[in-house]
């Protein structure tokens, strides 16, 4: 398939390796990737803050940028949920509603795309580590992606997957929530970070770089050992 990469703005600036890993995996599976450089932000910060008029302008831009793409694939459950679940609501009863629904049907979260759309679980990766998977809330509850990343991880050579006590509890990032209510956000990171750390894993695999920012931020400050890694980075590690 011809995949148009949806690289969230903070991945663009802060975690380019994640976007590159997505492309590596997809190309290894024989699909072509393009990056439409006019893409900016999905508008979720404004949308979640309640500034829907501002978010709408950004959403229209994104809908236009990705017009005509066969599949739009992004490495963030949260930003993908914005395109798939919230754009149709945000652009309802506007001239862009049809285009938003059309884009929603063609937009996928990375792990979901591999398993549900491409029907692939074994991408030929090797990752000789003990890992646990952190469910990002938007991927889990807006996109209902739960088993797909685990199926992908189980197929990785030499990888040991363990579950933590609270796999489905939130890390507390929540976008601007993390800085508007930093004490609550941090308390949530404590709960989730400690549960993840107790697994004794080497890496915490995530499908959301925003959760990674939060969890790594807390784990690093606490001097805990494990770090997060994006699912795409795990899968990009070739079985040499």
Partner 1 sequence: MSTGTPTTPAAGDAPHQAFEAAAPRLAKKKFLHDAEAHVRDTGHRDFVRRALGGYYASRDLQKSRYHDWDQARDAAAIAKWSAVNRLDELLPRFVAAFEANGGVVHWARDAEEARQIVLDIVRDAKAKAIIKSKCMTSEEIRLNGALEQDGYGVVESDLGEFIQQLRGEPPYHFVFPCMHVRRGEISDLFGKFLGTPPTDSPEELTMIARRHMRRLYVDADVGITGANFLVAETGQISITENEGNARLTAALPRVHIAIAGIEKVIEHLDDLSVLLPILATAGAGQPMTCYNTLYAGPRRPDEPDGPEAMHVVLLDNSRTAILADPEQRDSLHCIRCGACLNVCPIFKNVGGFTYGTTYQGPIGSVITPHLRGLADWNHLSGASSLCGACTDACPVRIDIHHHLLHNRRNAARTAPGRLERLGHRLFALAAVRPRLFACGGGVFRRTLGLMKLLRPPLLREWLATRDLPPAPRRSFRAEWGERSRNATRRPTG
| 43 interacts with partner 1 by CB under 8 A | yes
| 100 interacts with partner 1 by CB under 8 A | no
Among 116, 126, 154, 180, indicate the residue that binds partner 1 (CB under 8 A): 180
Does residue 134 contact residue 162 with C-beta atoms inside 8 Å?
A: no
Rounded-to-integer distance, Cα 36 and Cα 33, Å: 10
Three-state secondary structure call for residue 238: strand
Q: Which residues have C-beta within 8 Å of that of residue 104, sequence separation ≥ 6? A: 83, 84, 85, 87, 88
| 238 interacts with partner 1 by CB under 8 A | no
**Enclosing H/E stretch for 25:** helix 16-28
Rounded-to-integer distance, Cα 43 and Cα 100, Å: 14
| 147 interacts with partner 1 by CB under 8 A | no
| 12 interacts with partner 1 by CB under 8 A | yes
| 74 interacts with partner 1 by CB under 8 A | no
To the nearest whole angstrom, how small is the minimum distance from the Cβ of residue 158 to partner 1? Answer: 27
Q: Which residues bind partner 1 (CB under 8 A)?
A: 7, 9, 11-17, 19-20, 23, 35, 37-41, 43, 45-52, 54-55, 57-58, 60-61, 137-138, 140-142, 168-170, 172-174, 176-189, 191, 213-214, 216-218, 220-221
């Amino acid at each position: 398939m011809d995949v148009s990469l949806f690289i969230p703005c903070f991945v663009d600036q802060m975690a380019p390796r994640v976007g590159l890993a997505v492309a590596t995996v997809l190309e290894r599976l024989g699909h072509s990737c393009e990056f439409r450089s006019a893409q900016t932000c999905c508008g979720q910060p404004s949308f979640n803050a309640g500034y829907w008029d501002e978010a709408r302008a950004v959403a229209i831009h994104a809908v236009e940028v990705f017009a005509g793409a066969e599949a739009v694939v992004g490495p963030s459950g949260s930003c993908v949920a914005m395109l798939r679940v919230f754009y149709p609501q945000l652009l309802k009863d506007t001239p862009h509603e049809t285009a938003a629904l059309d884009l929603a049907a063609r937009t996928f979260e990375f792990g979901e795309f591999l398993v549900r759309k491409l029907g692939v679980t074994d991408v030929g990766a090797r990752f000789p580590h003990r890992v646990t998977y952190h469910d990002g809330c938007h991927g889990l509850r807006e996109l209902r992606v739960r088993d797909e990343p685990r199926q992908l991880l189980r197929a990785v050579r030499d990888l040991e997957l363990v579950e933590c006590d609270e796999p489905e509890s939130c890390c507390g990032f929540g976008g601007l929530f993390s800085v508007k209510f930093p004490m609550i956000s941090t308390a949530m990171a404590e709960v989730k970070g400690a549960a993840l750390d107790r697994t004794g894993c080497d890496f915490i695999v995530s499908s959301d770089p925003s959760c990674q920012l939060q969890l790594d931020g807390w784990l690093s400050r606490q001097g805990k050992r494990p770090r997060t890694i994006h699912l795409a980075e795990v899968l990009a590690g070739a079985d040499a």
